[in-house]
Amino acid sequence: MSEIYNSSLFATSKEFICSVDLAKKRDYTTVQIYRDTPEIKHYPRESGRQDQIINNMDLTYQAKVQGMRYTDQARMVKELLKRVNLLNNVQLLVDGTGVGEAVVDIMREGGLMPLPIVFTGGTEVRPVYADFGKVFSLRSGRFAGAGVIKEIHVPKEDMVHAGMIMLQQGRLRTADNLKHLDDFKLQLSKFKGTVNEKTGHRSSNNETDEIHDDFVVTYLMASWWMTYRRVTVKERQLVKQQTASWNPYDFLDK
């Protein structure tokens, strides 16, 4: 397990997650805001099991826009978070691949604190530190340098596992009046995971280029941030043992 899972980076008390898939001019920029809603699951006394805290993922807001300049994308996100009063109570995640880096820089110049997530084909989560902004910290009685996180590289397989776990456990909940909920469900229905029988390699993609996966991307980032770092090693192993094709839509309340 990567040491980042035990890092103070994840010791966040933010109640909301704003997940953004940034886009080029002709593509769509999508935004989803989730609330991390904990609830206590009680077990019968005779079971001998202790009460358990379950963190649900409540989808509370969606937006989808096209043809926006990089500066406008950054401004849109900041104005949204100011409007719903989340600036100080939200973890801002952005897709850091492709055009993402340019918009991330503009966001930071505008006072936002985005955390870019870069999808990779690797096997371990890897934080990338900036070359600037070094500070000193005191750890175990010794001074040490602490780098500033620039972005986090996360295996796509880890992202997909997080999304699967959330859906399988029924922990994704959606508001009824969301404008793009049908689009989100359609994207989930076309997002397939398959296993190459010869190589054992897993891949997850949309069945057709005609159906976008921008809402799926924002969902996977948010579910990984909120869920995957909390699941046990045993749960990860059980998910990785699944070899049949799967469809996340099967687990979504239609």
Q: Could you read off the pLDDT of 22-79 as tens digits, one per residue?
A: 876 567 899 999 999 888 888 888 888 888 888 899 999 999 998 888 899 999 999 9
CA proximity to 254, closest of 193, 167, 165, 191 = 167
- Is residue 125 within 8 A of residue 4, CB to CB? The reply is yes
Which of the two residues, 251 and 191, has the higher pLDDT score?
A: 191
Question: Residue-wise over 63-81: b if at least 16 C-beta within 10 A, else e?
Answer: bbeeebebeebbebbbebb
- Is residue 94 within 8 A of residue 103, CB to CB? The reply is yes
**pLDDT band, residue 190 (cuts 50/70/90):** confident
Cβ neighbours of residue 93 under 8 Å, at least 6 residues apart? Answer: 17, 18, 19, 20, 114, 115, 117, 221, 222, 225
- Is residue 174 within 8 A of residue 188, CB to CB? The reply is no
- Is residue 36 within 8 A of residue 24, CB to CB? The reply is no
What is the pLDDT, as a whole number, of residue 139? 52
What is the pLDDT, as a whole number, of residue 63? 94
CA proximity to 147, closest of 8, 39, 18, 5 = 8
What is the pLDDT, as a whole number, of residue 116? 92
Candidate ranges 114-118, 131-135, 203-207; pick with highest mean pLDDT: 114-118
Q: Which fold has domain 15-192+208-247?
A: Nucleotidyltransferase; domain 5 (3.30.420)
What is the pLDDT, as a whole number, of residue 146? 52
- State which H helix or E strand residue 53 sits in: strand 52-66
Q: Say what percent of the chain tops pLDDT 70.
A: 67
Is residue 8 predicted with pLDDT exceeding 60?
no
**For residue 202, what are its two tokens?**
């897993």
The Cα 174–Cα 128 span in angstroms is: 33
What is the pLDDT, as a whole number, of residue 90? 92
